[in-house]
């Protein structure tokens, strides 16, 4: 049941489908009783499962529902979700082509003129969301990107954001990456060095360990949890679009670490 939750089936859908798989063929009333689902909800749930390709509906009185082989059912569900994603992307692209995007941007830019700096600060929870926020910042960078990170996170950065870093470099963005040396990152250093200047923290001079990124000297993304001692879903970071915080605190810190670092040999 937990596994089925991860593919987007709600509790009642999971109960009804598993009950139908065990029964093979059944009416809505039989499934309602077996799965302990309110009868008033059972018809809608079975219709939803049929749309997703997990159930077949027989035109009989009363209606009967037939289970689909689980392997085939999962393939149908995959195709169903792929089609939904394609439709969703098409709707987004359509909105981007419409005048509504211009109106939204005008609202946003008008709001920025009156917003206080502290309002452009927020907490981000979960490694996936933190990484997506960094990817967005990298995609919009125009001048420079300074990143201090751990070897483990550098591997993740390479696998998820290397193309973004390369594109940023092609736009003229100067990228510096500072990390602790570890043999596990040896294989990716050559590729990273083609898009960024990479240096290693000299722990004897400056025992610094953590994660933060400074984008265009105007915004920062700071990891608050220990990257190797915290589950990825519990990673916490703070994002701030504050030139004061970037220029007066994090840039001097990065510069100090950079000046006390070792060049890649």
**Does 123 share its domain with 254?**
yes
Last residue of a domain, one of 36, 54, 69: 69
Last residue of a domain, one of 38, 69, 100: 69
pLDDT of residue 260: 84
Q: How many folded domains does the chain comprise?
A: 2
pLDDT of residue 33: 93
Q: How confident is the model at residue 13 (pLDDT cuts 50, 70, 90)?
A: very high
Last residue of a domain, one of 69, 85, 104: 69
| Rounded mean pLDDT, 118-144 | 85
pLDDT of residue 22: 92
Alpha helix stretches (DSSP H) within 113-212: 127-140, 151-170, 186-193
Residue 74, in any domain of the structure: no
Query: What is the tens place of the pLDDT at every residue in 74-126?
Result: 999 999 999 999 999 999 999 888 888 888 888 777 765 555 554 467 888 88
pLDDT of residue 75: 92
Residue 223, in any domain of the structure: yes
**Does 59 share its domain with 145?**
no
Residue-averaged pLDDT of the chain: 87
Q: Is-contact 77 52, C-beta < 8 A?
A: yes
CATH code, 55: 1.10.10.10
Query: What is the tens place of the pLDDT at every residue in 16-41?
Result: 999 999 989 999 999 999 999 999 99
**Does 214 share its domain with 128?**
yes
Q: How confident is the model at residue 264 (pLDDT cuts 50, 70, 90)?
A: low
Residue 55, in any domain of the structure: yes
Residue 151, in any domain of the structure: yes
pLDDT value at 138 more than 80? yes
pLDDT of residue 262: 81
> On the CB side of 171, how many CA atoms lie within 13 Å of its CA?
16
pLDDT of residue 127: 85
- Collect all residues with Cβ–Cβ distance below 8 Å to 242 and sequence separation of at least 6: 117, 118, 120, 121, 218, 219, 220
Residue 53, in any domain of the structure: yes
Query: What is the tens place of the pLDDT at every residue in 175-211?
Result: 999 998 888 888 898 889 999 999 998 877 777 778 8
**Does 126 share its domain with 253?**
yes
Residue 232, in any domain of the structure: yes
Residue 157, in any domain of the structure: yes
Tell me the CA distances in angstroms from 134 to 26, 121, 142, 225, one per residue in order: 50, 14, 14, 16
Burial 114-129 (b: 16+ CB within 10 A, else e): eeeeeeeeeebeebee
What element of type H or E holds 12?
Answer: helix 11-23
44 vs 115: which has the higher pLDDT: 44
**Does 61 share its domain with 137?**
no
Structural domain that includes position 251: 118-263
Residue 76, in any domain of the structure: no
pLDDT of residue 178: 93
Q: Model pTM?
A: 0.59
**Does 136 share its domain with 39?**
no
pLDDT of residue 195: 93
**Does 156 share its domain with 238?**
yes
Beta bridge partners of 181: none
pLDDT of residue 112: 57
CATH code, 169: 3.30.870.10
pLDDT of residue 265: 58
């Amino acid at each position: 049941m937990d596994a089925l939750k991860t593919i987007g089936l709600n509790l009642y859908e999971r109960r009804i489908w598993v009950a139908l798989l065990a029964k093979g063929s059944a009416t809505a009333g039989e499934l309602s009783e077996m799965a302990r689902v309110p009868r008033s909800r059972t018809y809608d749930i079975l219709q939803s499962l049929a749309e997703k390709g997990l159930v077949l509906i027989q035109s009989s009185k009363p209606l009967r529902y037939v289970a689909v082989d689980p392997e085939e059912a999962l393939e149908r569900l995959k195709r169903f979700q792929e089609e939904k994603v394609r439709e969703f992307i098409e709707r987004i692209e359509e909105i981007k082509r419409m005048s509504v995007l211009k109106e939204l941007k005008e609202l946003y830019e008008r709001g920025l003129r009156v917003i206080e700096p502290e309002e452009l600060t927020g907490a981000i929870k979960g490694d996936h969301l933190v990484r997506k926020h960094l990817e967005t910042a990298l995609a919009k960078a125009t001048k420079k990107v300074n990143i201090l990170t751990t070897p483990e996170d550098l591997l993740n950065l390479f696998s998820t954001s290397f193309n973004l870093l390369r594109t940023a470099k092609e736009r003229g963005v100067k990228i510096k990456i500072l990390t602790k040396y570890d043999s596990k990152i040896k294989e990716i250093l050559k590729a990273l060095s083609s898009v960024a200047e990479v240096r290693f923290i000299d722990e004897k001079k400056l025992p610094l360990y953590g994660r933060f990124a400074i984008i265009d000297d105007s915004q920062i993304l700071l990891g608050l949890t220990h990257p190797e001692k915290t589950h990825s879903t519990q990673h916490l970071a703070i994002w701030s679009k504050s030139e004061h915080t970037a220029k007066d605190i994090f840039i001097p810190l990065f510069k100090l670490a950079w000046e006390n670092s070792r060049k890649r040999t």
